[in-house]
Structure 1
């Protein structure tokens, strides 16, 4: 029996005595104030549970979400949650001028009944994290993702075509560039590299890839260089290869591919490579302007602007 239950049963004994002998007598015998005895008698309904202490939690708070803010949360939840989750809801709210924190939004959503379950918290893996890079372009990860076959429609599906998405992500700012090709070749890697250099507004020092044939011939020939490697040498960009069968070394681009699957490929279909690239362009704009927890709720574009502004000052 815990102390709260003991106190409630003690109050019950005092109330029963007061009902038999009178409230003043109970106050004198048990050594409690008369006002407390009167209050307990009024509160008592025949069970000791009725004498348990009531919550002192206030019914309202001066900083509580306003009706307008709650309406914004509900509208953004209906619009974004199914596809983009709570991060997408928060990003949509921020675009509308919402000034509260992410945790404040979740707290309000719980009170409004929008949060139906609580996810189990994963164990921290901070000891496995790589140090964050501080300079845009210091290292850019590149990888290729095959477009899911169930996204194909029309002629592309009838002809049994395969589409591939090339992805580059800057480790410092998480700024991305993506583009789709019909063939998985080193020549397309070279084309993608040239497009990437035009898109990223900073100098790239190192490019990190896996050991696929679209990037290197290292495991096919010790003498012949792939077109991608030749182009990198020509541009003076360092090429770093991750160890074989260790995709976590390219973790940022791998994670971005999982997000593409969740937020893009599970919702879109394509009839040709032109339609894929048109839709990828819109998705890329969204992902580069989406706030990220790992960036302290800034978007890659916001962080890039801050880094470039700081560099221009110095």
Structure 2
């Protein structure tokens, strides 16, 4: 028994009063009829459970599944244990089943015959690949500047872009502002990155955007200006798996931090203003900010420590 309700206490009090003073007096005192009292007196066996309400659910329903239909469903479920509701319903209709899909669902739910779905294969990530020296691989990506940061009538409606490169070994970062989002801008960015980075760059990793590669365009075999620039400098180009930004996770994480620490608190009144503020922010804040993966050193400290050791 789950709990003793007020109705159960009322019925027990009613029965005791009727046994002591009679059924008629109990009916007048408790403002009920004699049939009600006799019913509960006959049902009462000394336990609280006998005073609880019984289920009012009907034992039968005129539209319930027939024995033949139940056998058909049971037989089809044994043959199709993993079939979903819709597929299972269609298969049953091909065998002459005429009930609605909602009626089938209620029957399967009541009988405990819902589909048994096999577990999804567990994703096993690849081992994290650590770089051994600066320039071994650099992640490059483009960030669209939030339009809410543009506050001058000359720049409202325009789009500015932040090109970002992060060295995977030292987390040293180089950023540059551009007014154009194209393979030409990407090639320019690489030229400036090579001049700014103090080590030789072996590999640059990007996503599959058209500013980097023609991999998913009609000219997939034609190299972009960005790729030609990399080839000219002997830099290998690596593209990540499509729709998998976590493979470029370091630069993606830096863009999220940019939203929190830069774009949320700065306004730009011209492209020149944006470019100047971005340069100052990257020099003062990011490359001089201690990071846990670096043992709480700054990217600049890790980079110069390596250069002094070679």
Same fold (TM over 0.5): yes
**d(CA) in 2 for partners of 1:266, 1:218:** 34
Take 2:224 and 2:169, find their aligned partners in 1: how far apart are those partners? 27
User: How many residues get paired?
Assistant: 186
Contact 1:136 1:171 (C-alpha < 8 Å) held by counterparts = yes
Contiguous gaps of at least 5 residues in structure 2: 1-123
Alignment of 1:1-314 (within 5 A): 130-158=128-156, 160-220=157-217, 221-285=219-283, 286-311=285-310
Please tell me whether the aligned partners of residues 288 and 300 of structure 1 are also in contact (alpha carbons under 8 angstroms): yes
Query: Partners of 1:272 and 1:128 in 2: how far apart?
Result: 44
Per-residue CA deviation, residues 218-241 of structure 1 (Å, 9 max, x unaligned), is: 111232111001111111100000
More helix per residue: 1 or 2?
A: 1
* Preserved CA contact (<8 Å) 2:155 2:271: no
Distance 1:294 1:156, change over 3 A: farther
Work out whether residues 155 and 272 of structure 1, in 8 Å CA contact, stay in contact via their aligned partners in 2: no
- Classify 1:156/1:246 alpha carbon distance in 2 versus 1 (closer, same or farther; 3 Å): farther
Q: CA deviation at 1:129?
A: 5.8
Name which one, 1 or 2, has greater alpha-carbon Rg.
2
Q: Distance in 2 between matches of 1:302 and 1:185?
A: 33
Q: Name the CA shift for 1:127/1:240 in 2 (closer, same or farther; >3 Å).
A: closer
Q: Is the 8 A contact 2:155 2:270 kept in 1?
A: no
Q: Please state how far the C-alpha of 1:147 moved relative to its aligned partner.
A: 0.2
Preserved CA contact (<8 Å) 1:141 1:168: yes
Structure 1 residue ranges, 4+ long, deviating more than 2 angstroms after superposition:
126-129, 155-158
Distance across 2 between alignment mates of 1:258 and 1:222? 31
Inter-CA distance 131–249: structure 2 relative to 1 (3 Å threshold): same
TM (norm. structure 2) is 0.58
The whole-number CA distance in structure 2 between the counterparts of 1:202 and 1:184 is: 27
How far has the Cα of 1:163 moved from its partner?
0.4
